[in-house]
Each structure stands twice: as structure tokens, then as C-alpha cells.
Amino acid sequence: MLKLTRYVLYDIIRSRVVLAYAVFLLLVSLSLFNLEDNPSKAILSLLNIVLIVVPLISMIFTTIHYYNSYEFIELMLSQPLSRTRILLSEYAGVAISMITAFLIGIGIPVLIYVPDAVGATLVLTGCGLTLVFTSIAFLASVKARDKARGIGSVLLLWFYFSLIYDGLVLLILFSLSDYPMEKFTLLLAALNPVDLGRISIMLKLDVSALMGYTGALYKEFFGSNAGVLFTSAMMVLWTAVPLWTALLVFRKKDL
């Protein structure tokens, strides 16, 4: 498995797409920190990139890489290798390369300019979202035979998690505003990894004070040790469940 992962990493590095992604993030990060006098403002700007751009690039790159590696996967299947090992090697190679690019582009500048809990939370959130959306992209790619359909599926999923889901949550909360929704709001936040990341970083920035009672509720729960463990566990589930489902589909798929 390690040998396969190294080959996947070499193939990804040779394409230079990940290198361009790292350089783009690095230029944006350094520009924001040098333009803003207050590092907290730069962190808020980087928050939008971490929550929107990082999941999008992770999903699109993963999907394109999977379909471009289809012939290699078929060749590996003709060898005495299990399908689980092949797919996990592909996932490990893509995930490691994307996380490395993120750490170079955003992680290093953030830890230089904001070496505190806020910076660490932003970096960990970005790494977590990279793993989550890479896993979701593998599931969508494995289920769709056609490349165009696979890319379309991941774009729809990205729209759902980044844009549509928040609108649905607001609609539900507005429609049921006469009922106690405190605990239900926490559940809704847990059902979207992007919202979990946003809440974690906003609590570190003390922006929750501007959110009224809901912000106080988030701070009480997600700001506690139990809340941190809950957020971490949900991120692990968001990574493991799609990847495990992709493995089940890939084992039975007729290539």
C-alpha cells in the first residue's frame, strides 16, 4: 500500500496542479496578512477561503484525478492486489498532497502571523475539511461511471454543503420559530462539516457575541471540552463514512 501511495503522490506532484494550488493559497495568505493591520481581520478573510475554496478545489481535483487514473486502477486490479488497498492508496495519495499544499499555502503563514489558538484552529479546520471533501469526492466518483456526471455530482454536493444547506436551515428555523429549537440547532450544525468548521473558528474569535442567544448556546456547547470532542468526532465520521461507502461500492463495481 505504501508503494502505491508513493506512486500516486509522484504522479500528482508531476502534474504540478497541487503546486499551483499551494502557491495560490500562499500568495493570498501573505497578501491578506500584509494588507491588514489586525491579524483577526485577515483570519476572517482566510475563513471564507477555508470554508469555500478549499472544499471546492479538494473535490474537483479528487474527481479529475480519479478519472484520469482509471487506466492505472484497472492495471492494478489485474495484479494480486485487493480493491480496498488500491482505493485507500489513491485516497491517501490525494489527501496527503492536498493537505501538504494547504499547510504550505495557509498553514505556515497563519502560524507565523497568528501563532495562537485561533491560528491552530483555522489550520486544523482546513485539514479536516480537506479530508472530508476528498472522501466525499471519492464516493461520488466511484458511483458515477461518466466523468462529466461525476464532476457535476461533486459540484452539486459542494453547492449543497456551502450554500444551499444554510438556506434550508434558516428556512426551518424561521418556520418553527415558535418552538424551542436550541438542541435541534446544534444537531443541524453537526450535519454539515462546513458549519462545524465555521462555528469552531468563530468561537475562537469571540464573534459569537454578535450572534445573540444562538451564539451563547454555541459557545456553551462547542466551546467546552465535550464540544471539541464532539466536533472532532463528527469530522472523523464525515471522513470515514463516505470513504467506507466508496470502498463498499468499489469492491462490487464492475470496471
Using 50, 70 and 90 to split pLDDT, how confident is the model at 217?
Answer: low
**CA angle (210, 184, 167) in 5-degree steps:** 65
**Pairwise CA distance, residues 83 & 64, whole Å:** 20
Q: DSSP letter at 105?
A: I
Using 50, 70 and 90 to split pLDDT, how confident is the model at 108?
Answer: very high
Q: What is the pTM of this model?
A: 0.89
Which pLDDT score, from 0 to 100, does residue 136 have?
Answer: 95
Nearest Cα residue to 44 out of 122, 154, 109:
122
**Pairwise CA distance, residues 15 & 78, whole Å:** 25
Nearest Cα residue to 13 out of 61, 57, 45, 60:
61
What are the structural domain ranges in the chain? Answer: 2-252
